[in-house]
Structure 1
Amino acid sequence: MNDFIRRRDVLAGGLAAAGLSRAARAQSRPIRIGVLTDMTGAYAANTGAGSVLGAQMAIEDFVRVHPELKVELVSADLLLKPDVAVGIAGNWFDNQGVDLLTDVPLSSAAYAIGEMAKAKDKVAIFTGAASAEITGGHCGPNLLHWSYDTWSMPHAVVDATIRQGGDTWFFITADYAFGHALESDAAGFVTAAKARVVGEAMAPFPGTTDFSSYLIQARASGAKVIGFANGGSDTVNCIKQSAEFGIQQGGQKIAGLLFLIHDVHGVGLASAQGVLLTEPFYWNLNAGTRAFGQRFAARMNGSVPGSVHAGQYAAVIHYLKAVIAIGPEKAKASGRAVVEQMQATPTDDPLFGRGAVRKDGRVIHNMYLFEVKSPTQSKEPWDYYTLKQTVPAAEAFRPIDHGGCRMTQT
């Protein structure tokens, strides 16, 4: 991993950076990175302590190659409350010297923090927030969106499910910005494929643990597919309770529109087997992801990294490359300058492969359609997925001219 970073730095920067290295050696103030995450709520398994570790590993790996760079890490729990998240972000930017704020698994908070980063000329990189509107109507020159979004995640799943005959859909949706965006994007794929949405049920977020009334509505609708437009423990509870209601045995398919590896772990292979899902990262996909997964698991009591954790690592590495390229003092003075440098440099790491940072702030890379293995197919701990399809970066995310980002219209 360290050798990889060293080779890429040499190739990308050509070490025209001798002068920049001298500037870094003279660095008077550390670069500060803040991880604003969910430590105890519905998204804790997919973000939380793993997001902090992903960022920490990136800093350690990068500083090992660039010991002249001073970097500090802080973290906090946003408690899945937008006002708490915005308050922490404001304090970090104004009083704690934070230059980069990452994760934020709450889309409504991400919208506000993106605007704050623009006003204060800081950087926000959202790896946990999912709404595609972050790089649509809420795009900005100081933010990037890494890992996945509500367009990329349901795209392949909806298409594959419809090809299998699932031409009528009912959605159970988390009633806030993320859930609304996920249902809207998924429903768009349904109707584009000449299939139909026959109903929806909005579940309050956070705090809903009993989804029985919504599942009864979904079963009564007669829809061939029930789409869960939620995430984390909400999706886990929906899938567990749908099995208890015998929904799959009754012939209806279920689609986890944002169903991640720690959610699969929470459900268990016996209940989740056969479910189709999309992820941008899987720890056991190739040699590079597996090596990172093993390093990560050794520090997380055996728990492997998920897509957000990997996104934290990749995002922080790319950010620090930009800091070295323009110099840490300039990076601290202008977050926009750092983002421009990140956009000018292709992404390339062993976790997501080759990609790019678009003008709207969307980071594009391959996505993967997986099928969850049965218990007998799994050969080792966390061996959960069978790869069904690779969606290339150029097709994996919403076309830039379809998002409504004002920065792309000039």
Structure 2
Amino acid sequence: MMLKGMVAGLVFVAAVGHAQAQDGPVKIGVLTDMSSSLSDTQGMGSVEGARLAIEDFGGTVLGRKIELVHADHQNKADIGATIARRWFDTEDVRLIVDLGNSSVGLATQGIAKDKDRITIATGAATSELTGKACSPNSFHWGYDSYQFSGAAPAQMVKAGLDTWFFVTADYAFGYALENDTRKVVEAAGGKVVGSVRHPINTQDFSSFLLQAQGSGAKVIAIASAVGDLQNALKQGQEFAIFGKKQVPSAMALLLVDVKSVGLQATQGTSISTVFYWDQDDATREFAKRFRARMQRPPSEAQAMNYSGVMHYLKAVKAAGTTETQAVLKKMKETPVDDLMTKQAKIRADGRLMRDVRLAKVKSPAESKADWDFFEIGATVPGEQAFRPAADSACPLLAK
């Protein structure tokens, strides 16, 4: 009798816990860099992007409040993984967005699959998230290293800048960006003469830049992001390494990088971008609302958080439940359509096949106001901007 009573008690507790989970808030987590080299383009701005999506959706879904939580992964995969497990196991977080650092993104994506939860990478950029590390529970929403590598390198090689040296961040994103760009350079007829790796949050790039200078390469490619990229570009200018004989290539140049380094040093740089605040009337209106809270326009990753969270909430409403598999089905079968994304489809590997825009950094004379940095050019369809399915190592894609 005692054993039966204990079993009944456990069943009752489990039933109550399940009922509370069904009636409690729908929790979304923003796991991002709040204090390190990526915080300028992610950080609290990423939280604000997600919060604006929740507000625009109405603050509730299925009659339940939508609750937003956030945490700093400090650019460390073990810290990010620990937070993700806690959120999934004990705090009933259904979705994690941003992920920021690519190593954190890869680790969290694996945990989400094991726990049957969902992740949307909006800040993490390694193309391996939808390559050999792809997951049926995860999505890659914005930029990636493959897209970054294709904007300018082939054109530069064809213009005679045919020898390259890489100064590469020593973590997953850096490796992916160098590898993807190397393939583009070599396919265009160029040659990579060497590379060197630097740790994250490097303050002194002198030894790395001097090695690049000593190689004699016509292009010094900085395969890094945000804070590290900015430091490398600034110091290359200060040490007079960059010039007519050796030019920099900043494949992953973002809006905040131009703000930090300045138009004088970055003018004329060709890039591709998944979002620019001054792109059209809809993005300008969104940027106006964001700027009122953050005193600056949204970065690419911050805007992608808005888009990803909005699509998730639409899928929850359509599915009539927060159960992962039902929500995933709705997310994958429904085109993404919002103020910055128009009828974009999600591929089986989780890659959102959004259009991207080619852009060129303006000169100081061309810029008419603060944050007026990009001259927007042609639209590149997602099928051309991101890695073709036939070239992917993702097992979810039929060969």
In the superposition, the TM-score normalised over structure 1's length comes to: 0.89
Deviations 1:59-110 (CA, angstroms, capped at 9, x unpaired): 0001169694421000000011111100000000001110000111111221
Deviations 1:263-296 (CA, angstroms, capped at 9, x unpaired): 1111111222122222110000111111111111
- Would you say 1:126 and 2:115 are equivalent positions? no
Matched with 1:323 is: 316
Provide the secondary structure at the position in 2 that maps to 1:100: strand
Contact 1:32 1:100 in 2 (8 A): yes
Which is greater in Rg? Answer: 2
Provide the secondary structure at the position in 2 that maps to 1:76: strand
The 1:165/1:336 distance shift into structure 2, 3 A limit, reads: farther
How far residue 403 of structure 1 moved from its aligned partner, in angstroms, is: 1.4
Deviations 1:139-172 (CA, angstroms, capped at 9, x unpaired): 1110001101110112112123223322111110
Contact 1:38 1:44 in 2 (8 A): yes
> Using the alignment, how far apart are the partners of 2:54 and 2:158 within structure 1?
44
Contact 2:61 2:316 in 1 (8 A): no
> Using the alignment, how far apart are the partners of 2:366 and 2:340 within structure 1?
24
- Would you say 1:87 and 2:76 are equivalent positions? no
Contact 1:27 1:70 in 2 (8 A): no
**Structure 1 segments unaligned to the other structure (5+ residues):** 1-25
Matched with 1:3 is: none
**Amino acid in structure 2 at the alignment position of 1:281:** F
> Using the alignment, how far apart are the partners of 1:95 and 1:234 within structure 2?
35
Provide the secondary structure at the position in 2 that maps to 1:133: helix
1:88-127 → structure 2 map (5 Å cutoff): 88-127=83-122
Contact 1:36 1:102 in 2 (8 A): yes
1:365-376 → structure 2 map (5 Å cutoff): 365-376=354-365
**Structure 2 segments unaligned to the other structure (5+ residues):** 1-20
**Amino acid in structure 1 at the alignment position of 2:390:** D
The 1:225/1:305 distance shift into structure 2, 3 A limit, reads: same
The 1:388/1:242 distance shift into structure 2, 3 A limit, reads: farther
> Using the alignment, how far apart are the partners of 1:248 and 1:208 within structure 2?
19
Of 367, 390, 394, the match for 1:405: 394
Of 248-257 and 129-138, the range deviating more from structure 2: 248-257
> Using the alignment, how far apart are the partners of 2:92 and 2:40 within structure 1?
28
Contact 2:46 2:302 in 1 (8 A): yes
**Amino acid in structure 2 at the alignment position of 1:373:** K
Matched with 2:328 is: 339
Matched with 2:340 is: 351
- Would you say 1:28 and 2:23 are equivalent positions? yes
1:57-206 → structure 2 map (5 Å cutoff): 57-63=52-58, 68-205=63-200
Contact 2:157 2:189 in 1 (8 A): no
How far residue 318 of structure 1 moved from its aligned partner, in angstroms, is: 0.5
Deviations 1:289-308 (CA, angstroms, capped at 9, x unpaired): 1111111111102x111110
Contact 2:24 2:64 in 1 (8 A): no
- Would you say 1:249 and 2:243 are equivalent positions? yes
- Would you say 1:290 and 2:279 are equivalent positions? no
Matched with 1:209 is: 203
**Amino acid in structure 2 at the alignment position of 1:49:** M
> Using the alignment, how far apart are the partners of 2:291 and 2:62 within structure 1?
25
How far residue 338 of structure 1 moved from its aligned partner, in angstroms, is: 1.5
Contact 1:367 1:391 in 2 (8 A): yes
Contact 1:254 1:275 in 2 (8 A): no
Matched with 2:305 is: 312
The 1:196/1:341 distance shift into structure 2, 3 A limit, reads: same
